[in-house]
Structure 1
Amino acid sequence: MSRSKSKLIGIVLLAGLFAFLLYQFGLFVMVIWLKFHNPSTSAFMRNTLTQLQAEQANAQIIHTWVPYDKISTNLKRAVVAAEDSNFINHSGVEWEAIQRAWEYNMRMSESGSERVRGGSTITQQLAKNLFLSSDRSYWRKAQELLLTFMLEAVLSKQRILELYLNIAQWGKNVFGAQAAAEHYFKRHASQLNAAQSARLAAMLPNPAYYDKRGNTRYLQSRTRTLLQRMRMVEVP
């Protein structure tokens, strides 16, 4: 390889590295912005809206922001119990949980079951929902991890949970705790009781499905399980 060609490759690599670092810096600035401002939308909301409008041109997302202290503690406990029971204590990623989820999903797949369990923490889910696509590439997962560490470094656990509860999907076009409380129970998010909160938390792995199918036998069973677990978790 000639010296000029090697030099050109070096320049291209440096330019690529600079672009990558600049992109990460931009994301970090956005994370800092989230410390002081509430997002009106998310990457996942925008992607969902695009899909819905491809089917129905006038489709809309249902979403209303509600402050942390206006969300029922029952819902906070239920979501942490369902999605990330060690939320208070970890630094963003739980590698053992990822391994357990992978083993569980393999067993379910081998038995013909469609049930899946996620190993992502609430912070990881927030990173994905706010900034990334739903594709499962290794690059997307690596970027999710980088964003997770940024979120944990800049935001408090309370702020992370507040953001998550306000952008989580709870139906085909329903996003956030307030929209979910109104959609399913015709009440404010602050008024959700333990059973209602447990049911909403049980829906999180597949909210559009349960929005369409209603209170299935599995959803009822999962709700009962979460009602027992809620008392054992700590929330910010």
Structure 2
Amino acid sequence: MATSAGAFIWRWIKRIFLFCFISSFLYIIICKWIMPPVTITQLSSLIEGDGLKRDYVSKEDISPNLRLAAMASEDQLFPNHNGFDWKALEKSLNSNPKKKGRIRGGAASTISQQVAKNVFLWQGEGFMRYVRKVPEFYFTKMIEWIWGKQRILEVYLNVIEMGKGIYGAEAAAEAYFGKHAESLTRKEAAMIIACLPNPKIYTVKPISRFVSWKSNWILRQMNNIEDDEDIKSLTY
């Protein structure tokens, strides 16, 4: 009897796993062409009373300055890695003199990992962070294979939180500078990206001390990497 019950439970576990895999795979494919309608982080923002300001735009409507600033600050190796910053990547970059001026960046995760977490999963530290690691690996690899770098960067700059209740480049540009994302200057782009470690605390307007310091660091990094051919292929 116990064996039959165990087999029944195992059969249902496999069915649930298969359903989750197929549904997530289909959603990944859909999001290659259509922006995610809502994310868990955005829903949390509404529930917590921060509001939800967003306006998805195509990559052509996002300033090259913002794309460059994002890579300069968050993931300078983004064009070359396969979603994760492993030692093999460091070895391959060290063998290429053109890449020696590029560093990892300030974020704990690659841009690809941040997209996987923000679009498909949830935020949070502690125990839930470790629970998230396996699905984060899966979604990161899948978007690398299915979306490609241009789409990952485009989605990143549309869904990432850039202020309390402010999501994406267009909403941030409108809120802070009263302009469209395509018109952001280098300094404005650096200021927006500088708040990303904690956009609820590190404010762009009024500018916090951290954003003031970090934006200047980002500007220097933008100057350092902008002539790299791999970076340029994703910037313009």
Would you call these one fold, judging by a TM-score over 0.5?
A: yes
Aligned residues: 207
User: Which amino acid in structure 1 is aligned with residue 114 of structure 2?
Assistant: Q
TM-score of the aligned structures, taking structure 1 as reference length: 0.81
User: Which amino acid in structure 2 is aligned with residue 125 of structure 1?
Assistant: Q
Rounded to whole Å, the distance in 2 between the matches of 1:215 and 1:169 is 16
Equivalent residue, structure 1, for 2:117? 128
Equivalent residue, structure 1, for 2:25? 28
Tell whether 2:41 aligns with 1:44. Answer: yes
DSSP-derived class of the 2:201 partner? helix
Unaligned runs of 5+ in 2: 88-105
Tell whether 2:157 aligns with 1:168. Answer: no
Unaligned runs of 5+ in 1: 53-58, 97-116
Tell whether 2:182 aligns with 1:193. Answer: no
State whether residues 75 and 107 of structure 2, in contact with CA within 8 Å, keep that contact through their aligned partners in structure 1: no
Deviates more, 1:207-216 or 1:118-127: 207-216
**Percentage identity across paired residues of the two chains:** 34
Equivalent residue, structure 2, for 1:106? none
Tell whether 2:3 aligns with 1:6. Answer: yes
Shift of 1:213: 7.6
Match of 2:170 among 178, 187, 208: 178
Equivalent residue, structure 2, for 1:15? 12
CA offsets, 1:165-211, max 9 Å, x none? 01111111111100101111111111111111111111111111123
Rounded to whole Å, the distance in 2 between the matches of 1:46 and 1:151 is 22
User: Which amino acid in structure 2 is aligned with residue 5 of structure 1?
Assistant: A
User: Which amino acid in structure 1 is aligned with residue 21 of structure 2?
Assistant: Q
DSSP-derived class of the 1:170 partner? strand
State whether residues 112 and 144 of structure 2, in contact with CA within 8 Å, keep that contact through their aligned partners in structure 1: yes
Equivalent residue, structure 2, for 1:100? none
Rounded to whole Å, the distance in 1 between the matches of 2:184 and 2:51 is 25
Rounded to whole Å, the distance in 1 between the matches of 2:155 and 2:39 is 10
State whether residues 45 and 165 of structure 2, in contact with CA within 8 Å, keep that contact through their aligned partners in structure 1: yes
